[in-house]
Amino acid sequence: MKPIESLVRDNIKNLKPCPHGAEVYGAATESGLKPQEILDFSSSVNPLGPSKKALDAAKEAFSTVAAYPDSNSNLLRQVIASHFSGITKDNIVVGNGSTELMYLFAEAFLKKGDKALMAAPTFGEYESAVRKTGEAPKFVRLGSSFQVEAEAFKREMAGCKMVFLCNPNNPTSKLIPKDTLTDILETALAQDVLVFLDEDFLEFVDDEKGLTQIKNIAKFPNLLVLRSFTKIFGLTGLRVGYGITSKELASVLLCAKIPWNVNCLAQAAAVAAIQDQEHLRVTRELIRKEKVWLQQELGAVKGFSFEPPDANFFFIDIKDANITANNLKHKMLQQGILIRDCSSFVGLNEFYIRVAVKTHDENVRLIEAFKRALKSV
């Protein structure tokens, strides 16, 4: 038998896993703590967890685990469609987490030699999804204050097959200015460029309804808007996300996806979660209040600087604190707190961290731990 390595396709052989926050299992091994003892500020999800109604629905769905789940998540697609106006379930594709849809989108549309454009820094799985197809991503650096700049982006977009955009962006916590986004979408349409617009964090933004591009999918048949049950709905471990797009594009993805990609517990929980508007209201209120508190407290930490966040996480430049993100991460972990060292993001150096907005008591612990960690620097 030949070495297995010699049999692997080149694009797979060269893949490297994309680093992420929420590495609580690795952090537990390093710190000697149990995973549940670690306070995780590295993943930006609902600090209250999922709605009780969603958990009850998942429990009830246990009675159905002996059967295959609905392969195309029809009920969930129906419920999502009725949650928004102007779309039907035929505009929707559901994925095993929204990450599955990034890979599916790249796999379905990237042909040999096609280029896919994305910002630097942004969420790392867009790059991995493109590399897995055997094609190379093209990066455009964000401008001052880590904003997408329309002219630079459009210049680089010329000749590309697709672009990935994240609004608000991870890790910068910044919205793409409205006019910039419209300008890019219109140019992309005129140039036959597909747009994958990740709105996974938009539900944490006050003017979500005014800013979402879901209402514009009829105008932009080249657009897919991504949403997730991981973030504000807190169904992180169940893995459910969805794309809203033109019927033509949705039907391509529905055919290309693997069968039974979303399990029965996840489908049932998501159906209940999206209908529990009260849980979302309480979550938004908490995040709004705690963002104000954290902005003041983090702003008072010597050496930290940041822009006001648009999403539910802070992106902090720690250069003036005279410590690298990696060292600060270890000092925080010694106190049972996990933060995101952002140095793995394309376009960032070793002096950026990201922290989520959590409950008040947890945020107090974060600030106290930062102060202790930096005292010894």
Residues near ligand PLP (CB under 6 A) are: 97-99, 123, 166, 170, 198, 200, 228, 230, 241
Angle subtended at Cα 202 by Cα 324 and Cα 357, rounded to the nearest 5 degrees? 45
Q: Cα separations (Å) of 189 from 68, 106, 185, 225, 274?
A: 39, 18, 6, 15, 31
Considering beta carbons, is residue 250 or 321 the nearer one to ligand PLP? 250
Considering beta carbons, is residue 153 or 233 the nearer one to ligand PLP? 233
Considering beta carbons, is residue 171 or 331 the nearer one to ligand PLP? 171
Considering beta carbons, is residue 150 or 266 the nearer one to ligand PLP? 266
Q: How far is the CB of 303 from ligand PLP (least distance, A)?
A: 26
Q: How far is the CB of 97 from ligand PLP (least distance, A)?
A: 3
- Distance, in Å, from the CA atom of 288 to the CA atom of 311, rounded to the nearest integer, reads 10
Q: Which residue's CB atom is positioned nearest to ligand PLP?
A: 97
Q: How far is the CB of 232 from ligand PLP (least distance, A)?
A: 11
Is 162 in a helix, a strand, or coil? Answer: strand
Distance of CA 276 to the CA centre of its chain: 22
Considering beta carbons, is residue 184 or 262 the nearer one to ligand PLP? 262
Is 321 in a helix, a strand, or coil? Answer: helix
Q: How far is the CB of 227 from ligand PLP (least distance, A)?
A: 8
Considering beta carbons, is residue 133 or 228 the nearer one to ligand PLP? 228
Annotate 34-95 with DSSP letters as a single string: -GGGSEE-SS---TT-S-HHHHHHHHHHGGGTTSPPPTT-HHHHHHHHHHSSS--GGGEEEE
Q: How far is the CB of 354 from ligand PLP (least distance, A)?
A: 10
Q: How far is the CB of 65 from ligand PLP (least distance, A)?
A: 22
Q: How far is the CB of 99 from ligand PLP (least distance, A)?
A: 3
> What sign results for the dihedral spanned by CA atoms 252, 253, 254, 258?
positive
- In the chain, the N- to C-terminal Cα span, in Å, equals 55
- Distance, in Å, from the CA atom of 123 to the CA atom of 24, rounded to the nearest integer, reads 19
Considering beta carbons, is residue 20 or 365 the nearer one to ligand PLP? 20
Q: At what angle do helices 264-275 and 52-61 cross, to 10 degrees?
A: 150
